[in-house]
Amino acid sequence: MSESGHPGVLVAEQPHYLPWVDYYEQVARAGTLLVLDDVQWLRRGWQRRTRVALPVGVPTPPPSEPGFQWLSIPLEDPHRDVRIKDLAVDASQPWARKHLQTLVTLYGRRPYFRTQVLPHVEPFYDAAARESGPGSLLRLLLASMALFYAPLGLAPRILLASSMERTGEDKSQRLVEYCRQLGAHTYYSGLGSSLYLRVDRFRDADVRVLWQRFRHPTYAQGREGRFVLGLSIVDVLANVPLDEVKAWLQPSPWGPFAPRSAD
């Protein structure tokens, strides 16, 4: 059964390429997922790239070094002030074929890759290879985010920020205004936003802010050494049975999203 989230709960996220499992936990809580497609892109941000395992045979390094490699979508002549929604994929590069090849090489022998991942990523990359022009990056990111919604039992209501009225003089106030426009009483945010989010602005608008405190379970990643956090959902679903991952996304029985008793 699909999880439609919690009415009145807004999650606002920039678009991401094959995101990590924490993102899907946010989606599972959201009554509305607002994709922030009208913000400037970050050259070293996560929007067009994702973390996957190190090459086969390379041991996991100590915590002082990254235990992952990046898969990055190449862009056509990107400028710093261009908004995500206007970026174009560099169609002159065979990046889609290379990314699929990399995933098959990295995860082809993992227990669930060929049943839970490959049937979804193969058609995605086939279509991705034909994408080009302004807006092509956003289309690809949205498609990659959506690959595993249905398998994970998620059916989010998705809106683009570019389709909303953009008001507010800073990030916090803009998010408050989005909550007002969408009738949201709760804003569910990743902890990273605590560095800049003005909670008092939400309080003044009678909107509750809840911070994500998802405890990422560990799982066998197929290599010796430490467990590496923050890898793509591809890494998770290549290694963990789907039903188990779906159970991770269920709300805790004692938290703010706990199911209410029938009486």
Profile the chain (263 residues) by mean pLDDT over runs of 10 residues: 73 96 96 94 81 92 94 87 92 97 97 98 98 96 98 96 86 94 96 88 96 94 92 98 97 83 52
Q: What is the pLDDT of residue 261?
A: 60
Q: Give dist(CA 85, CA 137) in Å, integer.
A: 7
Backbone phi, psi, residue 82, to 5°: -80, 140
User: In sequence order, which residues have a C-beta less than 8 Å from that of residue 45 and are 6 or more positions away?
Assistant: 14
Is 227 domain-assigned? yes
Residue 119 phi/psi, 5-degree rounding, is: -60, -20
Q: Assess if residue 98 is contained within a domain.
A: yes
Domain contains 262: no
Report the length, in residues, of the chain. Answer: 263
Residue 64 lies in a domain: yes
The pLDDT score that the predictor gives to residue 259 is 79
Q: Flag whether 263 is in a domain.
A: no
Distances (CA, A) of 82 to 18, 40, 73, 165, 225: 22, 6, 16, 19, 40
> Does pTM top 0.75 for this prediction?
yes
Residue 91 lies in a domain: yes
Q: Which domain holds residue 159?
A: 9-248
Decide if 15 is inside a domain.
yes
Which tokens go with 54? 């190190």
CA 212 to CA 202: how far, in whole Å? 16
Can you read off the two tokens belonging to residue 245? Answer: 């991952």
Q: How far is CA 2 from its chain centroid?
A: 18
Round to whole Å and give the CA distance between 33 and 13: 7
Domain count, the chain: 1
Q: How far is CA 20 from the centre of its chain?
A: 6
Residue 9 three-state SS: strand
- Residue 99 in domain: yes
